[in-house]
Structure 1
Amino acid sequence: MDSECRVQLDVTDRDGEVREEPTPGVQARSKLTKAVLVLTVCLAAAAALLLVFYRQHNSSPQEEDSFELHHTLRQMSHVRAAIHLQGVHNPKMTNSVEWQDEVEQTHSQGGLKLDNNEVVIPHHGLYFVYSQVSFQVSCGDADVGAVSSPQVHLSHTVQRWSSSFGSDKVKSYRTILHSARTVCQKTASADSADEGSSFAAVYMGAVFNLLKGDRLRTVMEENMLPFLEDDPGKSFFGVFAL
């Protein structure tokens, strides 16, 4: 009789396949499994929040200092390298302006620095290199310009040294920027004071692909250095990363 009372219900889906209806016991187990999963996720989230709270309120000074240092270094990594130098005449230097980095309007950041009157490149990349020198000369002064030239010429050069050029021990420099101009014609006046002064500036700048450790320096004619204009903003040398 029991076999006659047990009835199994089959449901046919749209594809004609027979699908067995879940029994009440299976449904109950499914609901219990879902509840356990939800509870597990909630416990994991609560544990994570407790861990964060504990770290924030129980971190040691060393850990806080480490975090601050990491944050500072990350900010420094986004600082664009740049340097701007002011030029003055130094009688002890016979082939270049003396560049200063600790006077008004000068600055350096991002690893670019002044070393032995040369700018040192901190890392590989594209850089804009620029420089200007200004002069006050008199065309009646026989000491101005090249001795054998009847004209007064002004020139300025930026040279680059790189380990890629050859040996690290032997510094060989190559010119990357050069500019020259003629200011005036020399006169035969016996008194240079009778001649008016000429003010002239020689500026140049361009973009270069430089390597870490490259060095940049300026070169000028020795006989022109005494006529350099030392006022702020008239003679300068700078580099900045692109």
Structure 2
Amino acid sequence: MKKLYLALAVAGLLAGCSSNDDQAPVNTTPVPAMGKVADGAFTRFALNNNTSGAWIVHENAELGQGKVEATTLTASGDAGAIRLYYPSVGPSSVLPMMGPGVSQIIPNIEPDADYVLTVYYRDEKGEESPNILELGVKDMGVGSLNGNVIRVKEFTNEDIDSDGDDTNGFRKVTMAFNSGSNTTLEVYALTHLANTDNLDSNNDIGLQTEVFLDDIYLTLDD
């Protein structure tokens, strides 16, 4: 059985717990450590049935905005990644501006600092893929993703360097930005469909629209 060790700083002491006989519940609280992404590898997300406490999930299959679910795929390290897909899309469907994805509120951001948001992205549908990856950063608003845009960038499958960093089919995608006066930011990764022209309604729409995300992290650009 895989053991999960969680550390919690309490009064300057480092306390951990692990038991083979009486496994403690997995702590899903994100760790707001110096502007870092918590559970960026989606390991806790996969272990805890599509939730890690760190990530805000954006999905609504009933409104055509797609689904987010954990998978056992991985770009590196322990198993865990997320699958973004649309369960059903028809030729006459109204394509939503915002598709499925995740976001995270990051405290302890250095103001007026240059950062790089990195995501590992897997889309095996080639240049004909209908998916567009959107990476973004917003300041704090009233509710998730309601803040002002700091930076946003979209990528088609052919925009991403096929000769670049490729791990288990995941390719490295980056976006640079400056934090401005902000000390707390919300970073996000979403996908949406550019069109439905090549979708076959007689076959599994989920497989035709799926993409995968893993290893999301935020670093200072020195």
* Same fold, judged at TM 0.5 (above): no
Higher Cα Rg: structure 1 or 2? 1
TM-score, length basis structure 2: 0.40
TM-score, length basis structure 1: 0.37
| Structure whose residues are more often helix by fraction | 1
